[in-house]
């Protein structure tokens, strides 16, 4: 499936809602709707808890809302896990681990060109989940291989279910942990991550995409064989745009960049408006155009999104909903110039 850009709107996976119906209604206002992860609804709607279903060695503490790992438990459960490797049903996201996903599949998705799913990515999952000695799973060589393969299997099963209701389905991974691998304290190097990630993308079902709100080495991501790169350009655009050679190569290869632009933090939102967001993108895109990346190409291979997810606003979902409405206005401005 070849994805089209043209400033279509989408968004990150996590939302602050406590009402599933309201969250889905808002997600469906986008050009590319998606099923949201709603950790405030219950623990199992958290992206780390969701992907943990059936992973060997995982301990889910619902009361403490905590995901932990045990290497002893991992080895004891591995014998039961390996025979299920070719069983796609084993890797499906059950209703117990996401009510939202299954309600999304029940909606009428036919008016949309694309619909999207997501999962936490293997690097973030492997770095975030630690054992009793606070050692991340990804530091165990034998566990790390399973993590990458397991997440790929989960994506394949999710996409398979989505394609039953919409042929234009695709998935991406949320990878906040990719920022950490370029910091000196991590025991998981960028060289190792590059090797692991390329092998992971070979197993990625359909168009491959990565979303993150942080600030990694952008060359690392732009040089991977990705179809979609989603990022927070409201905060990171001035840094990201310096990688003009890598951006040009990525776009020339046919990649889509999802430009996260409208603010979701209340204090940021109150400082911005539609005009300032349009000017922000204009400045970024004009700067890249001067470096030899045609503005027309950028727009044709662009999606627009809110800058990031946000669970901390005192007004709950209100600012996020406003950000989505602002996003449509910003997108309409650029669509009119296509």
CA angle 284, 288, 290 (to 5 degrees): 120
Query: What is the chain's mean pLDDT, rounded?
Result: 96
Please give the pLDDT value at position 189.
80
* pTM for the whole structure: 0.96
Please give the pLDDT value at position 186.
66
CATH 1.20.144 fits 8-335, yes or no: no
Please give the pLDDT value at position 338.
83
Q: In this structure, how many other beta carbons lie within 10 angstroms of the beta carbon of residue 241?
A: 18
Rounded distance, CA 200 to CA 126, Å? 13
Provide the CA 271 distance to its chain's centre, in angstroms.
26
Query: DSSP code of 35?
Result: P
pLDDT tens figures, 93-114 = 999 999 999 999 999 999 999 9
DSSP string covering 292-314 = T--HHHHHHTEEEEES---S--T
Helix 99-106 crosses helix 141-163 at what angle (to 10 degrees)?
Answer: 30
Please give the pLDDT value at position 253.
97
Q: Where are the domains of the chain?
A: 8-335
Please check the confidence at residue 41 and state whether its pLDDT lies above 80: yes
């Amino acid at each position: 499936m070849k994805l089209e850009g043209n400033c279509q709107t989408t968004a990150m996976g996590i939302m602050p809602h406590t009402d599933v119906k309201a969250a889905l209604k808002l997600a469906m206002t986008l050009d590319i709707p998606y099923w949201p992860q709603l950790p405030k609804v219950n623990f199992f709607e958290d992206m780390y808890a969701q992907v943990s279903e059936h992973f060997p060695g995982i301990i889910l503490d619902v009361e403490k809302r905590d995901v932990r790992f045990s290497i002893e438990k991992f080895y004891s459960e591995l014998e039961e896990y390996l025979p299920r490797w070719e069983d796609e049903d084993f890797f499906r996201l059950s209703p117990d681990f996401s009510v939202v996903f299954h309600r999304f599949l029940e909606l009428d998705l036919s008016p949309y060109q694309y619909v999207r799913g997501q999962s936490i990515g293997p690097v973030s999952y492997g770095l975030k989940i630690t054992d009793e000695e606070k050692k991340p799973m990804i530091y165990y060589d034998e566990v790390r291989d399973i993590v990458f393969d397991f997440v790929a299997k989960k994506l394949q099963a999710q996409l398979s279910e989505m394609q039953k209701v919409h042929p234009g389905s695709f998935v991406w991974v949320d990878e906040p942990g990719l920022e950490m691998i370029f910091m000196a304290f991590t025991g998981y190097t960028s060289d190792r991550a590059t090797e692991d990630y390329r092998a992971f993308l070979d197993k990625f079902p359909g168009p491959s995409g990565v979303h993150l709100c942080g600030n990694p080495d952008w060359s690392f991501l732009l040089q991977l064989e990705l179809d979609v790169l989603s990022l927070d350009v409201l905060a990171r655009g001035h840094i990201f745009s310096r990688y003009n050679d890598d951006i040009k190569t990525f776009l020339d290869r046919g990649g889509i960049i999802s430009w996260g632009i409208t603010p979701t933090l209340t204090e940021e939102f109150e400082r911005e408006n539609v005009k300032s967001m349009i000017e922000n993108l204009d400045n970024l895109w004009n700067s890249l155009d001067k470096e030899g990346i045609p503005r027309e190409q950028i727009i044709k291979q662009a999606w627009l999104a809110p800058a990031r997810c946000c669970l901390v606003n005192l007004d709950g979902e209100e600012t996020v909903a406003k950000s989505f409405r602002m996003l449509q206005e910003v997108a309409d401005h650029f669509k009119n110039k296509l």
